[in-house]
């Protein structure tokens, strides 16, 4: 994945609160085994930490410390920075994903409302409750923000056995924005009937977000930014393989096998490795969100 060195990044789409603390806040999903299991069994790439009842009273939104804000705003100015630094690359992916949806919605008679991504470390207060990094990246419909601890990208490799790679990370970001698109379209709430399992709405919503990530990937290098040129200039087959590999690594069956020693499809919330790969690829192959009807 290559960015146009001269492109301007829009850091206003990212709120960097790394290093700040929630005043008096208590992390709901702690570290250790309990936190890990919660993560593995449902929250991973999920929709808000509230789905498993793992919320407390929320806590206050932490104030961004000026030093960390300055970090992204000062360091991530151009595509060249995105080619060199992981945090800047994530800013660029957020920009590209939102450029795409901002242009795609009007083509379908809609209007896209942008959603910021919050970079946090440790724990964070959200409209969906307080959450720790252990829950993995998630989208909170309550405040329409994507929450991401960049440390998770290492876990993709170390805990989930994904090959990692820049595009694996891009897939994660694009998946979360898939949930935002669902929120804007009114499909996201379908996942909240409390049911789990292979054919549950929860799984269908997750697979659709994977498909939407693929749709973006298909269109990434031909989506102009504000300057009229695409921010992403190159996506290779190896990049797409990294995305597919990450999608498989976070399949419910892989995670259950790895951490629980057996596979229990009735408790799936995100879909199997194969389902996730298939739907990401369906989006990538067609580049058409209309081909992402996982509810059929
Ligand atoms: Zn998800």
pLDDT in tens, 256-293: 998 889 999 999 999 999 999 999 999 999 999 999 99
- Does residue 26 register a pLDDT over 90? no
CA distance 246 to 161: 9
Q: In which band, very low, low, confident or very high, does the pLDDT at 74 lie, cut at 50, 70 and 90?
A: confident
CA-CA distance, 46 to 95, in Å (whole number)? 21
Unique residue bearing structure tokens 């989208």: 139
| Cα–Cα dist 294/116, whole Å | 26
Q: How far is the CA of 17 from the centre of ligand 1 (A)?
A: 22
Question: Domain map of the chain by residue range?
Answer: 2-291
Determine the distance separating the centroid of ligand 1 and the alpha carbon of 179, expressed in angstroms. Answer: 7
| Secondary structure class of 47 (helix, strand, coil) | strand
pLDDT the model gives residue 53:
36
**pTM greater than 0.85:** yes
Identify the band that residue 69 occupies on the pLDDT scale cut at 50, 70 and 90: low
Q: How many helices and strands, by DSSP H and E, does the chain display?
A: 10, 8
Distance 287 CA to ligand 1 centre (A): 19
The pLDDT, as a whole number, for residue 29 is: 40
| Per-residue confidence band for 163, with pLDDT thresholds at 50, 70 and 90 | confident
C-beta of residue 29 within 8 angstroms of C-beta of residue 35 = yes
Yes or no: say if 130 and 67 are a contact pair by the CB < 8 Å rule.
no
Work out the angle at residue 200's Cα, subtended by the Cα atoms of residues 250 and 187, and round it to the nearest 5 degrees. 90
Torsion of the alpha carbons at 269, 275, 279 and 285, rounded to the nearest 10: 170
Q: What is the mean pLDDT of residues 119-148?
A: 92
Ligand 1 centroid to residue 284 C-alpha, Å: 17
Q: What is the mean pLDDT of residues 78-86?
A: 97
Measured in Å, residue 66 CA sits from the centre of ligand 1 at: 30
The answer to whether residue 31 scores a pLDDT higher than 50 is no
């Amino acid at each position: 994945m290559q960015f146009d060195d001269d492109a301007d990044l829009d850091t206003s789409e990212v709120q960097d609160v790394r290093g700040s603390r929630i005043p008096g806040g208590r992390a709901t999903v702690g570290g250790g085994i309990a936190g890990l299991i919660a993560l593995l069994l449902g929250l991973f790439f999920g929709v808000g930490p509230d789905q498993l009842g793992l919320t407390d009273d929320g806590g206050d939104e932490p104030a961004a410390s000026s030093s960390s804000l300055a970090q992204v705003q000062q360091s991530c100015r151009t595509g060249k920075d995105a080619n060199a630094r992981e945090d800047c690359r994530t800013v660029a992916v957020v920009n590209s994903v939102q450029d795409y949806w901002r242009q795609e919605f009007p083509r379908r008679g809609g209007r896209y409302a942008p959603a910021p991504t919050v970079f946090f470390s440790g724990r964070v207060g959200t409209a969906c409750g307080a959450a720790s990094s252990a829950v993995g990246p998630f989208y909170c419909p309550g405040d329409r923000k994507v929450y991401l601890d960049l440390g998770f990208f290492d876990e993709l490799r170390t805990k989930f056995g994904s090959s990692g790679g820049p595009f694996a990370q891009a897939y994660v970001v694009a998946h979360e924005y898939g949930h935002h698109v669902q929120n804007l379209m009114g499909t996201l709430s379908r996942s909240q009937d409390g049911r789990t399992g292979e054919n549950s709405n929860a799984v269908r919503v997750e697979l659709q977000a994977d498909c939407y990530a693929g749709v973006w990937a298909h269109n990434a290098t031909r989506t102009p930014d504000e300057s009229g040129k695409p921010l992403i200039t190159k996506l290779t087959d190896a990049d797409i393989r990294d995305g597919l590999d990450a999608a498989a690594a976070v399949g419910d069956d892989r995670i259950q096998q790895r951490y629980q020693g057996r596979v229990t499809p009735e408790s799936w919330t995100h879909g199997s490795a194969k389902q996730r790969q298939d739907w990401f690829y369906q989006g990538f192959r067609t580049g058409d969100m209309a081909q992402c009807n996982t509810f059929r």
